[in-house]
Amino acid sequence: MFHQAVWDEKLIIEKSGKRTLKLPFENVEFKMKIPEDLARKDLNINDNEEYEVIRHYVRLSQMNYGVDLNTYPLGSCTMKYNPKISEEIVSMDQVKYIHPLQDESTVQGSLQIMYELQEFLKEIGGMDAVTLQPVAGADGEFTGLLLVRAYHENRMDFKRTEIIVPDSAHGTNPASSTMAGFTTIEIKSNENGMVDLDALEAALSDKTAAFMITNPNTLGIFEENILKIAKMVHEKGALLYYDGANLNGIMGKTTPGKMGFDIVHFNLHKTFATPHGGGGPGAGPVGVKKKLEEFLPVPVIGFDGKKYFFDYNIKNSIGKITGFYGNFAVLVRAWAYIKLKGGSGLKEVTEMAVLNTNYLRKKLQGYYDLPYKELRKHEVVFSGTNFKQYGIKTLDIAKRMLDYGLHAPTIYFPLIVEEALMMEPTETESKENLDKFAEIMIRIASEAKENPELLKNAPQNTAVGKIDEVEAARNPVLSWKMIKK
Ligand SMILES: *Cc1c(COP(=O)(O)O)cnc(C)c1O
């Protein structure tokens, strides 16, 4: 419990020569005692002044990089600016201090938020039902593929053991397919960077459980044959899965439902603004068409006109995916973001994201190789191959960007672009920022030709200089102990 210390001279005590505050917690009895043999004998912690500790952490924070500081062009990750009002909302006691085992009647507000989010996502995805449980995009993929399996098995169709993915797919797609017990079949993309219909036709069979694609795909290109693809897949009795990581390129303009998809996962942390990176935190709700609703994980959030409740009444549920509320704080942020933007606001987000990307594409075209001529949606993938003749790799370009105080884009993904340099400016960058960003990229392109050593030795202006990538991969230091040289 939190006690407010009342100002009182008696509370100030002298401890090892320092004045400190005596708080009324002395009589607290700890029931759990650490066994003698496990208790630490020599607690060797430095006795630092407050200002020293503050300066240490502020200094550390200044060595870091975040979207609050500057452009964060990490493609595929949608590193948009995250409005601070969402942080205020998730910091409210009503959100922060609820317990997962509280009675439904005491958490009606939280359930309402979750219920409304389900409804919003249904509309945005063009789906009929949604589960909020999965805690990442990849977790959503895994959940979605379990639903695919349940669907076919429920129809006594046990031979569907294959998931088809294009060669431009994110690595989590084949990984989730394997984890869910399927065999992954990879098909190549055509010369326009889209699904090769002949390759798809050849791969489809009565063993196909689903075709899993991202649209716009990882090149940022919209699949122009998506309706035809949906027809081909459905005619073979298979399902069509939508990797929703790139929703920022279509949101409010169209829906995966309209394109013929049966299952969608949403990466709430990407599209709907939760600060994320380094593996978390995330939420990957899954939306499905009517025919898959009976397999959703339990519980979904129900509403009977008066009360919100956990609905466990799902006929052929695949069971539970995550404990309790899932990643509740991410759900609340997404709900707040959608409420604040409204339907037309979400559409504007997409329009700005697409405009920004194509602006950047035009600005850098000619300086960096640009495979595929199509217009892009929310991201654009350049290639560093034109710098090979100067001994420069995409990695060197990315490292040099750090010297200019920028975050690097995604590199070497998607795999179908050699020396890939994948940029996603997002809608939250102004024209001024994009101009500045492009100017630096153009400067780096000329440095690569005129003074390649600058790039090869980069970064020089960062807290940590160039890292020996080979050594780091071969002999990773995984223990917390510092190595004494
Ligand atoms: C980010 C991403 C994923 C995986 O999502 P996580 O939330 O990181 O698990 C899947 N597909 C694509 C295209 C992505 O960009």
Helix spans in 404-458 (H)? 431-450, 452-456
Whether residue 465 is found in the same domain as residue 330: no
Q: Where does a domain end: 285, 318, 341?
A: 341
What distance lies between CA 93 and its chain's CA centroid?
26
User: Is 303 in the same domain as 378?
Assistant: no
Concatenated DSSP letters of 34-47: PPTTTS-S------
Tally the domains of the chain: 2
Instruction: Output the pLDDT for position 31.
Output: 59
The domain of 123 spans 85-341
- Out of 79, 143, 170, 266, give the residue to mutate to test ligand 1, the one with the largest number of ligand atoms within 8 Å of its CB: 170
Question: Which residue from 243, 247, 250, 265 has its CB within 8 A of the most atoms of ligand 1, so it is best to mutate?
Answer: 243
Question: Can you state the angle between helices 137-154 and 172-179, rounded to 10 degrees?
Answer: 40
Per-residue pLDDT at 4: 45
Gap between the Cα atoms of 229 and 218, Å rounded: 17
Q: Specify whether 167 is located in the same domain as 285.
A: yes
Mean pLDDT per 10-residue segment, the chain (485 residues)? 48 65 56 79 82 93 90 96 95 90 94 97 98 97 98 98 98 97 98 97 98 98 97 98 98 98 98 88 97 97 97 96 91 97 96 98 97 94 97 97 96 97 98 98 98 96 88 85 59
Position 332 in a domain:
yes
Ligand 1 centroid, distance to 290 Cα (angstroms): 25
Are 355 and 323 in the same domain?
Answer: no
CATH of the domain at 228: 3.40.640.10
What is the value of pTM for the model shown? Answer: 0.89
On whether residue 249 sits in a domain, the answer given is yes
- The single residue listed with the structure tokens 């949606």 is 377
Tell me, what's the pLDDT at 37?
86
Does residue 19 form part of some domain?
Answer: no
Ligand 1-lining residues (CB < 6 angstroms): 76, 136-138, 170, 172, 214, 218, 243, 245, 267, 282, 284
Q: What is the pLDDT of residue 3?
A: 42
Say which DSSP state 277 is in. Answer: B
pLDDT number for residue 19: 65
Q: Give the strand pairing for 239-244 and 263-266.
A: parallel
**Any idea what the CATH number is for the domain that residue 403 is in?**
3.90.1150.10
**Cα 294 to ligand 1 centre (Å):** 26
Do 325 and 380 reside in the same domain of the chain?
no
Q: Are residues 223 and 361 in the same domain?
A: no
Is the same domain home to 94 and 240?
A: yes
- Whether residue 358 sits in one domain with residue 334: no
Which of 341, 375, 395 is the last residue in one of the domains?
341
